[in-house]
Amino acid sequence: MRYQHPLSGINALTTFLLDFGMEVVKRTETAIWFGGYGIDQASKLGNSPIVKLKQAPGGGHMTTVHDPEGFPVNFIYGASPRAQPKKQPLEALQINDEFSKPRKGAFQRFKPGPAAIHKLGHFGLTIHDFELQFKWYTNHFNLVPSDILYAQNDPRQKFDVAAFLHIDRGKEYVDHHSFFLSVAATQHVHHSSFEVHDYDSQNMGHYWLKEKGHKPVWGLGRHRLGSQIFDYWWDPNGFMVEHYIDGDLVNENTPTGRQPAGDESLAVWSEPVPATFLD
């Protein structure tokens, strides 16, 4: 993901992203790269034609094309992964439920702080022409719909307005969606979403951001499509970013879902959907 921010606000933005759970991977006079604790490199990218990424962590080469509505799409080849961390920031928790109680003589203890980011999970665009954009992305790249939402003017006429797309790797299971498209009045990046360790990490991160005075959007809640537990926040310049955990996995044998669009398609449980989330 690449975001442009005024230089005057870079300190406030850096503070937010550190509170959000990022770490600074590299800094120059004009750019900062942020990353998580996984092997994926951080991103802050440029323009066509094929160029060598001399400054970017991991190096490699990149080219950029534009989709039919003008959004730039970057392709990177040859970037080196980051070193795999020796262990995750937190160990997997043992959970005692009403029947199975594997945690004996041990305690759940946590240290307050940001919810450490593992990886970029997905991002999405709000667009004008769904059919045009959907065909472009699915015909040119190995993106396949996991779920499609439709609207209808009357019971006989349905038209698609949103799609959640996964990366097709055949029988290998992948995240329910890495990319989504949704029709809206304005065209922009809707949000980018980052996976964190578990529910306790997510909740501690929520209250850490709240304590630091950052502005929430929506959450916590459980999405219906993809099943992720979500938590959305505004960065200092009004870009929406999300923490999530517990997403679904799909493969080539998973049938594409189709259902009507509406607030009920967004969450299983949550506070009411705020109007700003749908802008």
pLDDT at 223 over 90: yes
Residue percentage of the chain with pLDDT more than 70 = 96
d(CA 100, CA 103) in angstroms, rounded, equals 9
* Domains of the chain with CATH codes: 22-82 (no CATH), 116-278 (3.10.180.10)
In this predicted model, what pLDDT tens digit does every residue of 91-115 receive, in sequence order?
788 999 999 999 999 999 888 999 9
Q: What is the pLDDT of residue 112?
A: 93
Please state the rounded mean pLDDT for residues 141-150: 97
pLDDT category of residue 152 using cuts at 50, 70 and 90: confident
Round to whole Å and give the CA distance between 135 and 163. Answer: 11
178 band by pLDDT with thresholds 50, 70 and 90: very high
Contacts of 64 (CB under 8 A, 6+ apart): 45, 46, 47, 48, 72, 73, 74, 75
| Cβ-proximal residues to 98 (8 Å cutoff; 6+ apart), any chain | none
Q: What is the pLDDT of residue 46?
A: 34
Q: Are 30 and 17 in contact (CB under 8 A)?
A: no
Answer whether residue 57 shows pLDDT above 80: yes
User: SS3 of 34, please?
Assistant: strand
pLDDT of residue 45: 38
pLDDT value at 47 more than 50: no
For 167, 219, 227, the CA distances from 249, given in Å and listed in that order, are 11, 22, 10
- Overall average pLDDT of the 233-253 stretch: 96
The predicted-structure confidence for 80-95, as pLDDT tens digits, reads as follows 988 876 666 677 889 9
